[in-house]
């Protein structure tokens, strides 16, 4: 038994072919891939993209014969050396026990998908986050925003929600896959909301991911898989966030454009029922304001063109040294988010 | 980031030990030999820890049916590595 | 008429809630008959089915869904592993689990104690008279031994095949058969071999094999005309190879090998070291090919193999059998049904049949496996009663059942590491320490002895 790093393109091709029989794809964001060989034959592989375990497969004739554990041990140790200690995996319910055997614990399980973590404990993490940010024990509302960057549309959502519930938690998606870095997004929001009573701004933590960045490494029925991820995300929020932070309403903006966001909102409605309130978008000159519109304008016409769509805090950031750099990068880049 | 080291593996009859700097000492054992040896493993780890003199550390042992000498060796190796990384 | 559509076949069958349906396991982990048939039945909303599969493998994931949905509420089988076993261990089932033996299943079907309403029989090749063969077709599995009683005694018998052809080796006669379903594929023959069949390179297993061989020699058990059975586990395969070598170097010829047949058994037949192979199931491709070519390689039914009510059963003449164990207790009771933590991991199969019939029953197993000692005060579940177990061979010693005074006497002057079962347990505890008691959950079923009595209960895990 031999465990090797997959580095060369032709090796990756071999992995792609191997994964195909399991209806798995090899995604572009993968940064580590290990392959297990027995007598020069590829028997098993496992990969990771940042802190997410992906594309794990063992040749059917070798399943149940103890190949998964050495392979995953090697991957877990490798990630640990890189400082990545809190790992996640999305898997099929029938494979949950295999990952539990590797020290993963379940976060949530839906009919079609399970979400597990290793090296962290969602309940303990949220409790300490609650205490660190001094969140009250009273019932309250909440929004989850990516704010990439913060617009007047977001402020409208927050103010409407705040008026409705009196106390509001604003979770900012921590995952750093958006165009503007998390720390900047977070700082802008803190500044913009500084004068509002009853608002607490918190990072979303590692558990809520932006729906736009759901892993989609299952090639089969990709559309359903994205829906499965949406279900997992909503269930994570419902079973853990709403419980620990005593949230009784989640507010979301109505979605006029993206069909994906629409699906996501529909999924939320299904699982949260009356605990979800959809707020009409703020419009400016009859156009709904969205972060993606703002990014498009920024890219095309520069900072001044977006001034009327964003709060002062965002505008100041965009004019700052780091903001200018981000806008320059945006102009030369083709990022979707 | 908190200082943290691992040793061992998740292969059968081995264990994976993870040591992480913490405010107080704690021991967590997840084992495939369940309640038959759970208590024994916890006290073995606490005893080895005591002998090493290392404090304020979280020990997580994922046991796949390792015998005492394997557990001790893995833990001692991890403790030595942990002490080496003192500056980290 | 041969039906080509599963739904239309189901329309033609007298399906109803609560009925008893059977499957055989000759395609082992490559089977693709049980899952789709059960799914189609489940999709029609039938409830309270009693699933009577001769064995259930990791591939049979549909059974878990059927248990969860209430479609299947009772299971009778001889062996269960993989997700179905895990589900049963943790969740139990609405009705009851009955673990039979290979011989006991045949007996109960023939005697009518365990009736089958509809038998779905995967058949690698079927001709126009509905005769079936296991060695022809595109997915041959060899012997169809465990399907013969189903084919003869179920109220309705359905062959499921992917090859309609003329056949030479008839194993199931068409006159018994009511329906034939033609599908694209009944499975993947390579799945027959998965998980077994490599002679072990594990030094502990090889040590056990050598010790077992030394024991056989010390007992002078390998005589001209000896009959022998061993399974497909790593230790068994190694002993079979050593057994063959011994016959060769001593110019001896065995009368027959029986049970599950592997390449090692076939080699012995082809080299003239054994007269006949009585094959109730094939464990690899070599065995499947041999069954087609070698006249002295004879397919037998489960009843002819091990049915205790069948006076001419093959294992009635068996001299030596080599068997595995997940646990052995101080009374020599053996458990191969669950592990020490109440996870179901298998079942008797032919274990307790051969142990009872064979003149010499040797259990081979590692003394310590992932810290868990082999010898327990009491096994979690009795698969085979200690009265039928003669010797336990581990890598660190051999224990002989005190009831076999004859064996103890003949081993007195040997250099073999003979010890009492208590000494063997103490030796294991020296390394592992004494395990604390494992709590048992609710009773989910029973182990049935080959004659139909209740041998022991099966408990759920406490999760």
Closest Cβ–Cβ partner in C341, C432, C433 for B34: C341
ipTM of the complex: 0.90
Q: Is residue A226 part of a domain?
A: yes
The CA radius of gyration of chain C, in Å to the nearest whole number, is 22
- DSSP code at position A283: E
pLDDT per position as a tens digit, C69-83: 999 999 999 999 999
The pLDDT confidence band at residue A225, using thresholds 50, 70 and 90, is low
Are A71 and A23 found together in one domain?
yes
Structure tokens at A36: 């297990």
A128 and A261 assigned to the same domain:
yes
Distance CA A171, CA C212 (A): 66
| Residue B19 placed within a domain | yes
Average pLDDT in the A183-212 region? 88
C2-192 CATH: 3.40.1080.10
The pLDDT value recorded for residue C191 is 76
pLDDT digits (tens, 9 = 90+) for A101-135: 888 999 998 888 899 999 889 999 999 999 999 99
Do A21 and A113 belong together in one domain? yes
Q: Give the closest-approach CA distance of B6 to chain A in angstroms.
A: 7
Separation CA C386–CA C376 (nearest Å): 13
CATH of the domain at A237: 3.40.50.620
Measuring CA to CA, how many Å separate C430 from each of B31, B68, C242, C368? 20, 11, 31, 11
Q: Do C340 and B36 touch (CB under 8 A)?
A: yes
How far is the C-alpha of A51 from the C-alpha of A279, rounded, in Å? 33
Buried b (16+ CB within 10 A) or exposed e, A129-153: bbeeeebeeeebbbbbbbbbbbbbb
Contact B62 A103 (CB under 8 A): yes
Contacts of C61 in chain A (CB under 8 A): 94
Domain tally for chain A?
A: 2
pLDDT of residue A218: 38
Question: Please, which pLDDT band fits residue A255 given cuts at 50, 70 and 90?
Answer: confident
The chain-wide mean pLDDT, for chain A, equals 88
Question: Do the Cβ atoms of A63 and C86 come within 8 Å?
Answer: no
Q: Which residue of chain A has the CA closest to C82? A: A64
CA torsion angle C350 C356 C361 C367 (round to 10): 70
Q: Alpha helices of C297-358 — where are they, by DSSP H?
A: 302-306, 351-357
What are the structural domain ranges in chain C?
A: 2-192, 203-437
pLDDT in tens, C134-190: 999 999 999 999 999 999 999 999 999 999 999 999 999 999 999 999 999 999 887
Domain boundary among A99, A120, A141: A120
For residue C198, is pLDDT > 80? no
Q: Which residues pair with B83 in a beta bridge?
A: none
Q: What string of DSSP letters covers A116-150? A: EEES--HHHHHHHHHHHTT--SS-EEEEEE--TT-
Question: Which residues of chain C have a Cβ shorter than 8 Å from any chain A Cβ?
Answer: 58, 61, 64, 82-83, 86, 190-191, 193-195
In a domain, A329, yes or no: no
Q: Is residue B12 part of a domain?
A: yes
Cβ-based interface (< 8 Å): residues of B facing A? 1, 4, 6, 9-12, 16, 18, 20, 30, 32, 62, 64
Beta carbons of A70 and B1 less than 8 Å apart = no
The Cβ of residue C40 has, within 10 Å, a number of other Cβ atoms equal to: 15
| Chain C neighbors of A63, CB-CB under 8 A | 58, 194-195
Distance, CA of C279 to CA of C298 (rounded, Å): 6
**Which residues of A sit within 8 Å Cβ distance of C?**
60-65, 94, 97
B-chain CB neighbours of C433 within 8 Å are 37, 40, 68
Q: Which of B4, B11, B64 sits opposite A85 (nearest CB)?
A: B4
For the domain that residue B61 is a member of, what is the CATH number? 3.30.230.10
Domain stops at, among A271, A288, A305 = A288
The answer to whether position B77 is within a domain reads: yes
d(CA A169, CA A187): 15
Q: Do B10 and A69 touch (CB under 8 A)?
A: yes
List of chain A residues whose C-beta atoms are within 8 Å of the C-beta of residue B6: 76-77, 80
Q: Which residues of C touch A61 (CB under 8 A)?
A: 190-191, 193-194
Task: Summarize the confidence of residues C88-97 as an average pLDDT.
Answer: 97
- pLDDT one-digit tens code per residue, A54-112: 889 999 888 877 899 999 999 999 999 888 989 999 888 888 888 988 889 999 988 88
The token duo for A31 is 């940064």
Check whether the bond before C198 is cis (ω within 30° of 0).
no
What's the rounded mean pLDDT across residues C374-387? Answer: 98
- pLDDT, tens digit, 9 for 90 and up, residues B30-80: 999 988 999 999 999 999 999 999 999 999 999 999 999 999 999 999 999
| A3-12, C31-40, C213-222, range with the lowest pLDDT | A3-12
Same domain (yes/no): A136, A231: yes
Across the interface, whether the CB atoms of C195 and A94 are under 8 A apart is answered no
* B7 confidence band (pLDDT: 50, 70, 90): very high
Residue C202 is predicted with a pLDDT of 84
User: What does pLDDT average to over chain C?
Assistant: 95
Contact state of B67 with C369 under an 8 Å Cβ cutoff: no
Quick check: A94 and C61 CB within 8 A? yes
Which of B 3-62 lie inside 8 A of C, CB atoms? 12-13, 32-40
Q: B11 lies in a domain?
A: yes
Question: Is the CB of B9 less than 8 angstroms away from the CB of A85?
Answer: no
Task: Note the pLDDT of residue A284.
Answer: 82
What pLDDT, on a 0 to 100 scale, did the predictor assign at position C318? 98
Which pLDDT value is given to residue A215?
Answer: 54
Among C58, C64, C193, the residue with its CB nearest the CB of A64 is: C58
* Same domain membership, residue A109 and residue A135: no
CB within 8 Å of C442: residues ≥ 6 apart: C92, C459, C460
Q: Give me the mean pLDDT over the C248-276 stretch.
A: 96
Single residue among A120, A144, A173 that ends a domain in this structure = A120
Residue numbers in B near A80 (CB within 8 A): 4, 6, 18
A94 and A231 share one domain:
no
Minimal CA–CA distance to C241: which of C271, C219, C280?
Answer: C271
Cross-chain CB nearest to B6 (options A69, A77, A102):
A77
Asked if B33 lies within 8 A of C372 by C-beta distance, the reply is: yes
**Could you give the dihedral angle defined by the CA atoms of residues B51, B53, B57 and B62, in that order, rounded to the nearest 10 degrees?**
-20
Best residue of A21, A41, A64 to probe chain C, by most C CBs closer than 10 Å? A64
Which residues in chain B have their CB less than 8 angstroms from residue C438's CB?
34-36
Q: pLDDT confidence of C197, banded at 50, 70, 90?
A: low
Instruction: Please give the Cα distance from C117 to C14 (Å, whole number).
Output: 9
Chain A positions contacting chain B at CB under 8 Å are 66, 69-70, 72-74, 76-77, 80, 83, 85, 101-103, 119
Contacts of A176 (CB under 8 A, 6+ apart): A182
Chain C neighbours (≥3 Cβ pairs under 8 A) are A, B
The pLDDT score that the predictor gives to residue B88 is: 44
Homologous superfamily of C203-437: Glutaconate Coenzyme A-transferase (3.40.1080.10)
Mean pLDDT lowest for which of A22-31, C11-20, C423-432?
A22-31
- Please enumerate in sequence order all residues whose Cβ is within 8 A of that of B74, keeping only pairs 6 or more positions apart, or say none: B7, B8, B14, B15, B16, B17, B66
CB contact under 8 A, B37 and C438: no
- Cβ-based neighbours of C461, under 8 Å, separated by 6 or more: C89, C90, C341, C342, C343, C441
Closest by Cα among A291, A275, A281, A249 to A162: A249
**Burial class, A47, CB count within 10 angstroms (exposed 0-12 / middle 13-18 / buried 19+):** buried
Residues contacting B69, CB < 8 A, separation 6+: none
Closest among A11, A1, A59 to A32, alpha carbons compared: A11
Looking at residues A200-227, what average pLDDT do you find?
A: 66
Mean pLDDT throughout A127-156?
Answer: 94
Output the DSSP codes for A4-57: EE--SHHHHHHHHHHHHTTTB---TT--EEEEEEETTEEEEEEEEETTEEEEEE
pLDDT band at residue A228 under the 50/70/90 scheme: confident
* Mean of pLDDT values over C337-346: 96
Provide the residue range defining the domain that includes A106: 2-120
Tell whether the model's pLDDT for residue A256 goes beyond 80: no
Is residue B60 in a domain?
yes
Rounded to a whole number, what is the distance in Å from the CA of B84 to chain C's nearest CA? 31
Chain B positions in Cβ-Cβ contact with residue A101 (cut-off 8 Å): 10, 32
**Is residue A154 domain-shared with residue A229, that is, in the same domain?**
yes
Q: Which of A10-24, C243-257, C400-414, C438-452 comes out lowest in average pLDDT?
A: A10-24
Interface test with A, best of C195, C200, C369 (most A CBs within 10 A): C195
- Domain match, A158 and A14 both: no
Residue B88 lies in a domain: no
* Residue B25 forms part of a structural domain: yes
Asked, for residue A31, whether it belongs to a domain, the answer is yes
Residues of C in contact with B66 (CB under 8 A): 371
Tell me: the pLDDT tens digits for C10-42? Answer: 999 999 999 999 999 999 989 999 999 999 999
**Interface probe, candidates A46, A76, A100, chain B, greatest B C-beta count within 10 A:** A76
Percent of chain A scored above 90 by pLDDT? 55
Whether the per-residue pLDDT at A337 is higher than 50: the answer is no
> B33 and C371: CB-CB below 8 Å?
yes
At residue A222 the predicted structure's pLDDT band, cuts being 50, 70 and 90, is low
Instruction: Give the pLDDT band (50/70/90) at residue C96.
Output: very high
Q: What are phi and psi of A297, to 5 degrees?
A: -65, -40
Instruction: Give the chain A residue whose CA is nearest to the CA of C191.
Output: A61
Among residues of chain A, what percentage have pLDDT more than 70?
Answer: 93
- Cβ–Cβ of B32/C370 closer than 8 Å? yes
pTM: 0.81
Question: Do the chains contact at B9 and A70, CB–CB below 8 Å?
Answer: yes
Contact partners for chain B, using 3 or more CB pairs closer than 8 A, are A, C
At A334 the pLDDT is: 60
Q: Is pLDDT above 80 for A210?
A: no
Minimal Cβ distance to C436: which of B13, B35, B64: B35
A107/A128 same-domain check: no
The total of structural domains in chain B comes to 1
Q: CA-to-CA distance for A132 and A200, rounded, in angstroms?
A: 11
A20 and A165 co-located in one domain: no
Cβ-contact A18, A32 below 8 angstroms: no
Domain-embedded: residue B33: yes
């Amino acid at each position: 038994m031999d465990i090797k790093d997959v580095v060369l393109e032709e090796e990756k091709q071999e992995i792609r072919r191997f994964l195909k029989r399991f209806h798995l794809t090899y995604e572009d964001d993968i940064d580590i891939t290990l392959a297990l060989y027995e007598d020069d034959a590829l028997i098993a592989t496992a990969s990771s993209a940042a802190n997410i375990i992906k594309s794990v497969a063992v040749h059917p004739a070798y399943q149940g014969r103890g190949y998964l554990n050495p392979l995953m041990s090697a991957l877990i140790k490798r990630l640990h050396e890189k400082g990545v200690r809190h790992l996640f995996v999305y898997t099929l319910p029938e494979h949950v026990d295999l990952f539990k055997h590797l020290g993963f614990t379940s976060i949530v399980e839906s009919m079609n998908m399970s979400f597990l973590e290793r090296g962290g404990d969602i309940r303990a993490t949220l409790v300490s986050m609650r205490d660190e940010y001094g969140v009250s024990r009273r019932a309250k509302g909440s929004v989850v925003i990516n704010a990439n960057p913060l617009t007047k549309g977001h402020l409208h959502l927050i103010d409407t929600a705040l008026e409705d519930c009196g106390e509001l938690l604003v979770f900012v998606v921590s995952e750093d896959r958006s165009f503007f870095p998390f720390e900047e997004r977070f700082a802008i929001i803190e500044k913009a909301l500084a004068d509002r009573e009853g608002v607490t701004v918190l990072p979303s933590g590692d558990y809520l991911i932006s729906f736009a960045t759901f892993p989609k490494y299952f090639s089969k029925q990709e559309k359903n898989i994205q829906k499965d991820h949406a279900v997992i995300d909503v269930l994570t929020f419902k079973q853990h966030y709403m419980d620990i932070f005593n949230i009784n309403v989640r507010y979301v903006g109505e979605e006029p454009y993206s069909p994906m966001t629409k699906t996501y909102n529909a999924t939320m409605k299904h699982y949260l029922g009356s605990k979800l309130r959809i707020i009409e978008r703020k419009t400016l000159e009859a156009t709904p304001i969205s972060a993606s519109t703002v990014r498009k304008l920024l890219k095309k016409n520069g900072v001044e063109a977006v001034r009327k769509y964003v709060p002062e805090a965002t505008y100041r950031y965009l004019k700052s040294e780091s903001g200018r750099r981000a806008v320059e990068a945006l102009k030369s880049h083709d990022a979707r988010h | 980031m908190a200082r943290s080291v691992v040793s061992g593996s998740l292969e059968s009859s081995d264990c994976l030990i993870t040591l992480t700097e913490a405010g107080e000492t704690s021991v967590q054992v997840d084992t495939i030999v369940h309640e038959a040896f759970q208590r024994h493993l916890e006290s073995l780890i606490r005893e080895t820890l005591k002998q090493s003199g290392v404090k304020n550390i979280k020990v997580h042992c994922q046991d796949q049916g390792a015998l005492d000498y394997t557990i001790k060796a893995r833990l001692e190796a991890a403790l030595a590595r942990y002490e080496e990384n003192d500056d980290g | 008429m041969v039906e080509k559509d599963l739904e239309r076949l189901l329309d033609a069958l007298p399906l109803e809630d609560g009925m008893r349906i059977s499957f055989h396991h000759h395609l082992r982990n490559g089977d693709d008959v049980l899952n789709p048939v059960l799914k189609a039945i489940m999709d029609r909303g039938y409830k309270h089915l009693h699933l009577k599969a001769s064995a259930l493998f990791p591939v049979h994931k549909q059974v878990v869904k059927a248990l969860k949905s209430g479609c299947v509420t009772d299971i009778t089988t001889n062996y269960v592993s993989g997700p179905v076993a895990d589900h049963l261990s943790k969740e139990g089932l609405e009705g009851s689990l009955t673990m039979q033996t290979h011989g006991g299943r045949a007996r109960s079907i023939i005697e009518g104690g365990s009736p089958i309403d509809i038998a779905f029989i995967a058949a690698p090749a079927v001709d126009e008279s509905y005769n079936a063969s296991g060695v022809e077709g595109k997915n041959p599995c060899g012997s169809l031994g465990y399907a013969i009683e189903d084919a003869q005694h179920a109220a309705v018998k359905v062959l499921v095949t992917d090859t309609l052809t003329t056949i030479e080796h008839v194993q199931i006669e068409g006159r018994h058969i009511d329906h034939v379903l033609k599908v694209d594929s009944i499975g993947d023959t390579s799945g027959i071999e998965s998980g077994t069949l490599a002679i072990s390179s594990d030094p502990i297993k090889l040590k056990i094999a050598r010790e077992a061989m030394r024991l056989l020699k010390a007992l002078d058990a390998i005589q001209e005309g000896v009959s022998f059975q061993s399974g497909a586990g790593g230790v068994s395969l190694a002993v079979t190879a050593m057994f063959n070598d011994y016959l060769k170097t001593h110019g001896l010829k065995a009368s027959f090998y029986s049970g599950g047949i592997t390449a090692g058994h076939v080699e012995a037949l082809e080299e003239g070291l054994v007269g006949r192979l009585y094959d109730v199931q094939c464990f690899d491709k070599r065995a499947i090919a041999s069954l087609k070519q070698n006249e002295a390689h004879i397919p037998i039914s489960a009843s002819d193999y091990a049915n205790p009510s069948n006076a001419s059963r093959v294992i009635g003449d068996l001299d030596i059998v080599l068997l595995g164990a997940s646990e052995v207790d101080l009374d020599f009771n053996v458990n191969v049904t669950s592990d020490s933590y109440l996870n179901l991991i298998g079942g008797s199969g032919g274990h307790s049949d051969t142990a009872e019939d064979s003149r010499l029953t040797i259990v081979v197993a590692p003394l310590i496996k992932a810290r868990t000692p082999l010898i327990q005060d009491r096994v979690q579940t009795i698969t085979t009663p200690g009265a039928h177990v003669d010797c336990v061979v581990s890598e660190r010693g051999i224990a002989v059942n005190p009831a076999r005074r004859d064996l103890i006497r003949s081993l007195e002057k040997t250099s073999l590491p003979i010890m009492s079962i208590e000494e063997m347990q103490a030796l294991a505890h020296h390394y592992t320490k004494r395990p604390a008691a494992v709590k048992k959950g609710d009773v989910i079923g029973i182990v049935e002895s080959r004659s139909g009595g209740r041998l022991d209960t099966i408990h759920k895990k406490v999760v």
